[in-house]
Structure 1
Amino acid sequence: MERRELPNSTLILVFGILSIVGCCCYGVAGIVFGIIALVMAKKAMELYNADPDLYTGYKNVKTGRILAIIGLVLSAISLITSIVMLIIYGGLEGMEEMQREILENYGG
Structure 2
Amino acid sequence: MKEKLPNSTLILIFGILSIIGCCCYGLFGIVFGILAIVLANKAKELYYANPDLYVGYENVKTGRILGIIGLVLSAISFISSVIMIITAGGIEGLMEMQREIYGSGF
TM-score by length of 1: 0.87
Q: Which residue of 2 aligns with 1:15?
A: 14
Percent sequence identity is 72
Larger radius of gyration: 1
Q: How far is the alpha carbon of 1:66 from its aligned partner?
A: 0.1
Amino acid at match of 1:21: I
Gaps of at least 5 residues in structure 2 are none
When residues 12 and 102 of structure 1 are mapped into structure 2, their CA distance, relative to the original with a 3 A threshold, is closer
Q: How far is the alpha carbon of 1:91 from its aligned partner?
A: 2.5
Amino acid at match of 2:73: L
TM-superposition CA deviations, 1:11-47 (whole Å, max 9, x none): 0000000000000111010000010111100010000
Figure out how many residues of one structure are paired with residues of the other and give that number: 102
TM-superposition CA deviations, 1:82-106 (whole Å, max 9, x none): 0000110023321344356668xxx
Question: How well do the aligned residues superpose, as a CA RMSD in angstroms?
Answer: 1.6
TM-superposition CA deviations, 1:41-73 (whole Å, max 9, x none): 001000000011110000000000000000000
